[in-house]
Amino acid sequence: MDGAFTSLEPLHEDDSTPMSSRVTFGTVKRVGAILIAIVVVLAAGIVVGQAPAIFGVGEDPTASITFEDQQGDGESVVIDEVTLSDGGFIVITDGSEDPLVVSDYLGSGTQENVTIERDDDGDELVGRLTATVHQDTTDDETYAYQESDGAEDHPYLEAGFPVTDTATVTTTEDDGALSDSFRVERISAPESATTNETIDVVAEISNPTELEAQQTVTFRLDGTVLEQQTLVLEGGETREVTFEIDTSGTPPGERILGVYTDGDGALQPIDLEFHTDPGVAVVNASDENVTVDVATPQAGFVAIEDSDGTMIATSDEVDAGTDAEVSVEFDEDVSVDDEEELTAVVYEGEPTDLEGATVLEHEGEPVETTFTLAAVSDESDGDDTDSDGEE
């Protein structure tokens, strides 16, 4: 401390010398300055992202990975470099739902030349493979993504997408999978589309060998197989393959188109825009259930809330897109007055996990509509009456 603090002496009852008012005022000013400084640092930290480092609030986990084309024996692959802020795992896949192999737990930081061994009863690690970096959200150093249905140990994200890298792995036992595999020379597809149209994805496929061969060409959207075609090519022949892809039910945003042969592949991004404004409309209602039409860019469900905001009914899960006549059943113990104002609300998430669900918003407002059973019933009765007022 400076001299102003070290020179202070306690004032005893028998001390005839009063405490200096200047020292007391200076102390107050210093304490005030310290408090102001803390407030300023906190505010500035929040603005520029420094508050977490100062006050111990964790930042979003980050990761990166480099997975280069390589030759091997099918028993292992080597990750050139991986960086994990909070530790985790590397998951190797070939585009199917289940992983080929999962690495041992990796601590935080940067690691190079990470070797991942094939499981004893696992498939060979060859072909076009993808390495995805997963977190250890359970903090038990045990991979649990599949067994928890994606609730735990989910991938690290960058700009909303999993942190991955893709490589072609060939074997050293022969000329290599890539040399015998058809090659995907290029992909031609729209840069953007809406979520209710059919697009053409054209891939140019070549046979690099001197012999006629037959192979399967696979189209994937965000890793999910949507279509396969069997192709026969003469040695040295190149041909175009066209896939007609229906985008209905695909969530909007940047998606990845992929075309794969036995040992090769190519990727191209596409920006999908939701084809209509999100919304919900009540088309019928009774004291047992409510029927709605819903348009949502994300998979979710529709909930009915009473005038107190209590959720009293939920629909089954609805896919992204437009759904007509979605039924929302009231619970058996729920009693609703015909004149009570109810609200139909669209949620993102699963109806079996209400705590994890969030209200869908459009332009900053919740996607919802208010109604009463009586009003909906009157409208339905009116629809059954012709222009002359006759049923």
Residue 390 in domain: no
Residue 340 in domain: yes
Give the span between the Cα atoms of 95 and 164, in whole angstroms: 12
Contacts for 303 with CB less than 8 Å, ≥ 6 apart: 311, 313, 314, 315, 328, 344, 345, 347, 351
What are residue 187's DSSP bridge partners? Answer: 203
Q: State the pLDDT at residue 65.
A: 96
Cβ atoms within 10 Å of 45's Cβ, excluding its own: 16
Residue 389 in domain: no
What CATH number did the domain enclosing 253 receive? 2.60.40.10
Asked if 172 contacts 71 with a C-beta cutoff of 8 angstroms, the reply is yes
Output the six-digit token pair for 247. Answer: 């985008």
Same domain (yes/no): 50, 70: no
Same domain (yes/no): 293, 369: yes
Q: What is the pLDDT of residues 59-89, one digit of tens each?
A: 789 999 999 988 878 889 999 999 999 999 9
Q: State the pLDDT at residue 312.
A: 94
Cβ atoms within 10 Å of 280's Cβ, excluding its own: 19
Same domain (yes/no): 93, 154: yes
Quick check: helix, strand or coil at residue 101?
A: strand
Output the six-digit token pair for 149. Answer: 């249905």
Q: What is the pLDDT of residues 152-208, one digit of tens each?
A: 999 999 887 889 998 888 765 544 444 588 999 999 999 999 999 999 999 999 999
Same domain (yes/no): 308, 351: yes
**Which residues in the chain show pLDDT less than 50?**
1-29, 31, 33-58, 174-178, 385-391
Same domain (yes/no): 165, 212: no
Of 278, 300, 302, the residue nearest 292 (C-alpha):
302
Q: State the pLDDT at residue 179.
A: 59
Same domain (yes/no): 153, 196: no
Q: What is the DSSP letter of 106?
A: B
Same domain (yes/no): 45, 68: no
| pTM given for the model | 0.51
Domain residues for the domain of 365 are: 279-383
Same domain (yes/no): 345, 312: yes
Q: State the pLDDT at residue 77.
A: 93
Same domain (yes/no): 160, 194: no
Q: State the pLDDT at residue 380.
A: 65
Same domain (yes/no): 67, 42: no
What CATH number did the domain enclosing 353 receive? 2.60.40
Please name the residue ranges forming H helices in the chain: 3-6, 21-48, 51-55, 177-180, 373-383
Same domain (yes/no): 11, 71: no
> How would you list the strands of the sheet with 238-246, edge to edge?
183-188, 198-206, 238-246
Same domain (yes/no): 101, 158: yes
Q: What is the DSSP letter of 298?
A: S
What's the domain count of the chain? Answer: 4
Residue 176 in domain: no
